Structure 1
Amino acid sequence: MIGLILFIALMGFTLGRNRLTWPEKFINDAFGTVQGVLYRPVGAVADFVRDLGRLSDVYKENEQLRQTVAQYTQDQIKFNRLEAENKRLKEDLNFTKQQKNMDNYRYLIAQVVGSTSNPYEKTITINLGSRDGLKPDMAVRTVDGLVGLVSKVKTFTSTVTLITDLDPSSSRGTPVSATFLGKPESFGIIEYDDEAGVLQMTKIDESDKPADGDKVITSGIGSLFPQGIIVGTVKSSQVGDFGLTYTAIIQPAAQFDHLREVFVVVVPGAEEQ
């Protein structure tokens, strides 16, 4: 009752007044100060909690963006690879059509699936074997030119010895007899000079002096390589043994460092042999 009476008296005393007494001012100021002191840390904690939530959202968004960029990069690489492969296959198809008008050889397209790292044995592995009709000593070429000779045949794969490893003076390989395009009576032997690291055509008759830019093709005489496969282009020439012959340095037509697809040349009648 006393508290109720005091409360009613206080309400009646304060109602209608515009100014507060000093005790009321003191109480209001003290309450406001305490409220401000308590609000700041509470507000800071609340802001920190909100920032943590936002940081988590940003992390999730960044993770999604990284995954999207990684997938885009992978798709771009795949697209570029397929585009390059499609271009090569179109060139291969055009090559086979052109060759049908030039000779009656049959061509088996093969993928290069491996290469040797042995500097003393320059070979590649292709994904065709005996089940595909391959036999040893079949010539192998690209769209650009001669690559080598099938040396070993397995059921599903075969080994191809490159022309840079065919040395007529040793037991490693078979010589490539060649001629100059436009000079059907010319003759020479293609071999690889290990010391100089160049392909060269030797034993060229002095009456067939080569000129820079002359095209060199297989002659089909006295070797396993069929006639008419381009070998390369003459870069330079010099007088050979005893001044009676010429030796020409040949720029290979095939790019041995970028072999992806090759053609195995099937000469008519070779399957029956």
Structure 2
Amino acid sequence: MLIGLVMFIILMGFTFGSRVGLTWPEKFVRDTVGFVQGVFYKPASYIAGFFEDVRELKDVYEENERLKKAVAQYARESAEYNMIKNDNINYMNLLKFTETQKQKYNYDYRPANVLSVNQDPNNHTLVIDLGAKDGVRLNMSVTSVDGMVGVISHVGNFTSTVKLLTTLDPQDAKRQQIAATVSDKDTFGIIESYDKKTKMLKMTRIPEDDPIKEGDLIVSSGNGGVIPRGMIIGTVDKVEVGEFGLTRTATIIPAANFQDWKTLLVVFAPEEPKG
């Protein structure tokens, strides 16, 4: 019936195309077709919307389950961390640590807004809105919520320049190297370069019998006194035999993504006492 009505309207359009206005039979047919279309369209749209809501509800449920697991894991890790922290404080008191020694790894993370980014591949830097007046010093570490970004290379009164890890180059006479370790193993290595093609960091000088393996979390060891201990660098992608066969080399996937930053964190480590 609907098809017949539509064809009738088309035919009348061809027949009376030159007229201005419609006759009452034509108006009746047009209104009838519109009514019939509405009768079929509305239920169909309600049904489609219902199934779309069901799909969204399923996605929300799955996301809720993932969040529950994450919260439960965080609670367990938080409790374990507090126990270890209290044990550590007790051991330091028993061993008569000085207050400076106790505060050595008590870092303060201060947020800084990114003002500008220099995309020059040979001098990849950015400028943040913290400077000397805020206590920023040369070689302070800068990190994102994901992982370490770089170090402070220049300090002004109100702004500072951050040299990114993507500028690490073993051929650079003033190169910045990072002593690194695996978060839960007795591992040693040096983060010394960044491959612009693969977008990977290179960790060298790893002992031949080191237990490092794919998937391990790499953090700064704190050796050398420049980069604080525990800064997240990335995860191991693969481990290979070193250049002369006496050591091993690891390819590291950086934790930070090195793009689209708006806010970063400057790491304020306690200053070593002078004298």
Aligned alpha-carbon RMSD (Å) = 2.5
Measure the CA separation in 2 of the matches of 1:223 and 1:272.
Answer: 14
Please report how far the alpha carbon of residue 220 of structure 1 lies from its aligned counterpart in structure 2 after TM superposition.
Answer: 0.6
Change beyond 3 A, Cα 1:272–1:161: farther
Other structure's SS at 1:111 match: strand
Letter in 2 for 1:182: D
Task: Give percent identity, aligned residues only.
Answer: 43
2:222 maps to 220
8 Å CA contact 1:176, 1:218 repeated in 2 = yes
What CA distance in whole angstroms lies between the structure 2 residues aligned with 1:232 and 1:267?
Answer: 21
Letter in 2 for 1:173: R
Q: Distance in 1 between matches of 2:146 and 2:152?
A: 18
The corresponding residue for 1:241 is 243
Q: Could you tell me which amino acid in structure 2 is paired with residue 229 of structure 1?
A: M
How far, CA to CA, are the matches of 1:148 and 1:158 in structure 2?
Answer: 12
Unaligned runs of 5+ in 2: 1-77, 86-104
| Matching of residues 178-257 of structure 1 within 5 Å | 178-184=180-186, 186-190=187-191, 191-194=193-196, 196-257=198-259
Q: Could you tell me how far 1:168 is from its partner in structure 2?
A: 4.5
Q: Note the residue ranges of structure 1 that are not aligned, 5 or more in a row.
A: 1-97
Q: Does 1:136 align with 2:130?
A: no
- 8 Å CA contact retained: 2:185, 2:211: no
> Match of 1:56?
none
Structure 2 Cα separation of the partners of residues 141 and 237 of structure 1? 25
Q: Distance in 1 between matches of 2:117 and 2:223?
A: 29
Code of the aligned partner of 2:247: T
Amino acid aligned to 2:107: Y
Matches within 5 A, 1:151-170: 151-170=153-172
Cα distance in 2 for partners of 1:263, 1:270 equals 21
Number of positions where the alignment pairs a residue of Structure 1 with one of Structure 2: 175
- Shift of the 271–161 alpha-carbon distance from structure 1 to 2, 3 Å rule, reads farther
- Given the superposition, is the C-alpha separation of residues 119 and 160 from structure 1 closer, same or farther in structure 2, using an over 3 Å criterion? same
Tell me the alpha carbon deviations over residues 169-209 of structure 1, each in whole angstroms, 9 at most, x when there is no partner.
4234310110011113x111112235654211111111114
Cα distance per residue 1:209-265 (max 9 Å; x no partner): 421100000001125101011100001121112211111111111121132211111
Pairwise mapping of residues 34-113 of structure 1 onto structure 2 (< 5 A)? 103-113=105-115
TM-score (norm 2): 0.58
Larger fraction in helix: 1
Alpha-carbon distance between aligned partners in 2 of 1:139 and 1:235, rounded to the nearest angstrom:
24
Contact 1:114 1:126 in 2 (8 A): yes
Which residue identity does 1:148 align to in structure 2? G
Q: What is the TM-score with the length of structure 1 in the denominator?
A: 0.59
Q: Secondary structure at the match of 2:133?
A: helix
Residues 142 and 254 of structure 1 are in contact (CA less than 8 Å); yes or no, is this contact kept in structure 2? yes
CA contact (8 A) 1:137 1:224 kept: yes
Closer, same or farther in 2 for the Cα pair 1:271/1:108, shift >3 Å? farther
